[in-house]
Amino acid sequence: MPARFQKLVSIGWGIAAAGCLAALGIYGLVGAFMRFIGDDYCYGMILNQKGFWTAQWYSYTVPTPYTGDRYSLTFFSDVFHSFGPGFYGWLAGLTLLAWLAGLVMVARQLNCLLDWQRKRFVWAAGAAGFAFLVLYQAPDLAESFYWRSGMLPYFMPLVGDTWMAAWLLAMTGRKNVGVFTLAGVGLFAFVNAGFSETAVALQAGGLGMALLGTLLVRRESNSFAAAWKPFTAALAGTAAGMVVMLVSPSNAARLGTLPESLGLTVSVQLSFRYALDFIRESMQGLPIPTLIGLAIATATGFELATGSTRPIKMSWRHWLTASILTLVVGYGLVVCSVAPSVFIQTWYPEPRALIVSRFAMELSIFVLGGLAGAFLHGLLTGRRVFTATRIALVLLIGLCAAYALRGGLRRLPELPNLRNYAAQWDQRDAQIRADRDRGLLGVEVTHLPHLLLHIGDINEDAGYWYNVCAAGNYGIHSIHSVP
């Protein structure tokens, strides 16, 4: 095709990528006005009383106001808390950047593995669109992305999963993988497993299915003869992490406060039912974002197939088989993500935990769309029809990016009030520290409810557990608020 046309197509994808990235930038900007609240104070209390390293073991062995068996959650909460409240405002944005970088690395490894032509703007638009839709459709974005004590157990491991996928893809085509590399993969999986039971269940399920896939592909191609090794190492690290959380003394104490288990059979049945409920409610309640995800993925798959160094011609049987397999695997991943809530707490997952299920479902939607785009590319033969379809899909991706940008812009009116909240919180924080330094160990502050979170803040009851945690965080005897 003429170079000018190719350039125009590239510009169109670049504009789409910019729109999606701008929407994500606004999401990151909202996080700039987050501060300590709720469980954040409890991590700070134990950290302040025990010191960093002692706090890790203490949280794991002794019941605390938070879930201490999640060793990575405790570790990174204490690391970030040590940076002070000012760092809190950077956390959401930096985590989002780390996730986008991981998605880019996954794209790069897929390019190398499949020997596709590098199209940076296409991959950027697809990755940014995927990230936006996961956040946009999160049932409780404030608690699962902006609040540190909710983001670390549920969103942070998704970032780790993305980087782990990139690393595993990089090793898939190797004929030999060294022992130290395998140990590194296992260690990475172990660390990522320690954020929450919900996230580690998704990680284990995904790795288990991937390992099965590599073993099947290994029979057909010598290029993947050693691919099973890194997946096995990652799965072993994940299993080790699950065991460490399971045998934690603090976990045993927490389980004693929860309802009695429903039993294996009932729990498995409910896990499958709740997963189906989540998928059905998502498609019924969020039809437009679901279609947007399919559209972005279809356009991305079609454009990547265009100009590929290896001709892509997919028969309808192969396409149908791959699509059915994607649906089965996707459903299995959602089942894995809801199962811990059923087995441990005996109920449907809390909204903040469902961002893990959203990630699994959106991933399935994007794979389905990518397969549809590649299949469509193979169907078209006439040059005019092919060119017209390509133009239509560029326009479609532009409309999808406009939808994403609109979703981001709708958050801008929140910023003045959030900025005011952060200023008031900083003023209150300075007052507490000043009172403490003057030797005043019983501090009175103004009540400051959060604008996004429905998490308890310092209230009028000095014995309230968040008040006790806040007092311990600041190193004073008591704290309470006035209306």
Q: Is residue 324 part of a domain?
A: yes
Mean pLDDT by groups of 10 residues along the chain of 483 residues: 82 95 97 94 95 95 88 96 93 97 92 77 94 97 95 97 95 84 96 96 96 79 75 96 93 77 91 96 95 96 78 81 95 96 90 96 96 89 86 95 96 95 95 93 90 87 92 94 86
Residues 450 and 332 in one domain: no
CB-CB neighbours of 165 under 10 Å: 21
Distance CA 95, CA 159 (A): 8
* Domain final position from 410, 440, 466: 410
Q: What is the DSSP string of 112-174?
A: HHHTPPP-HHHHHHHHHHHHHHHHHT-TTHIIIIISHHHHHHHTHHHHHHHHHHHHHHHHHT-
* Residue 419, domain member (yes or no): no
- What's residue 307's pLDDT? 65
Q: In this structure, are residues 474 and 432 in contact, taking their beta carbons and an 8 Å threshold?
A: yes
In one-letter notation, the amino acid at residue 126 is G
* pLDDT at residue 450, rounded to an integer: 87
Q: Domain check: are 435 and 309 in the same one?
A: no
The helix (H) or strand (E) run that includes residue 214 is helix 197-218
Environment class of 104 (CB within 10 Å of its CB; exposed 0-12, middle 13-18, buried 19+)? middle
- pLDDT at residue 221 in the model: 62
Range of the domain at 163: 3-410
The amino acid that residue 108 corresponds to is R
Q: Are 56 and 75 in contact (CB under 8 A)?
A: yes
3-state secondary structure (DSSP) of residue 442: strand
- Shared domain for 391 and 436, answered yes or no, is no
The verdict on 381 and 432 lying in the same domain is no
Q: pLDDT tens digit string along 118-162?
A: 788 999 999 999 999 999 999 999 999 999 999 999 999 999 999
| Burial class of 306 by CB neighbour count within 10 A (0 to 12, 13 to 18, 19+) | buried
Please give the pLDDT value at position 230: 93
Q: Quick one: DSSP state of residue 444?
A: E
pLDDT of residue 283: 94
Same domain membership, residue 233 and residue 106: yes
Whether residue 108 is found in the same domain as residue 236: yes
Domain final position from 382, 410, 438: 410
Q: In this predicted structure, what is the pLDDT of residue 220?
A: 62
Residue 142: inside a domain, yes or no? yes
> For the packed helices 179-193 and 156-172, what is the interaxial angle rounded to 10 degrees?
160
Question: Would you call 48 helix, strand, or coil by DSSP?
Answer: helix
pLDDT reported for residue 269: 96
Residues 441 and 368 reside in one and the same domain: no
Q: How far is CA 453 from CA 34, 114, 295, 338, in A?
A: 10, 43, 32, 23
What pLDDT does 476 receive?
94
Token match 């104070």: residue?
A: 41
Q: 327 and 452: one domain? A: no
User: Do 299 and 373 contact (CB within 8 A), yes or no?
Assistant: yes
83-94 core/surface letters (b: 16 or more CB in 10 A; e: else): eebeebbebbbe
Q: Same domain for 290 and 377? A: yes
The structural domain count of the chain equals 2
Q: Among residues of the chain, what percentage have pLDDT more than 90?
A: 74
How does 250-266 read in b/e, with b if 16+ C-beta sit within 10 Å?
A: bbeebeeeeeeeeeeee
Does residue 415 lie within any of the structural domains? no
Q: 428: which 2 tokens?
A: 């209150």
> Do 454 and 345 share a domain, yes or no?
no
Query: Is residue 95 in some structural domain?
Result: yes
Picking from 346, 378, 410, the residue at the C-terminal end of a domain is 410
What is the token pair recorded at 79?
């690391």
In a domain, 422, yes or no: no
Please indicate, yes or no, if residue 375 is contained in any of the structural domains. yes
Instruction: Say if residue 406 is in the same domain as residue 432.
Output: no
- CA 172 to chain CA centroid, nearest Å: 23
Q: What is the pLDDT of residue 364?
A: 97
Question: Would you tell me how many other CB atoms lie within 10 Å of the CB of residue 297?
Answer: 26
370 plus 293 within the same structural domain: yes
Task: Name residue 112's amino acid.
Answer: C
Residue 416, in any domain of the structure: no
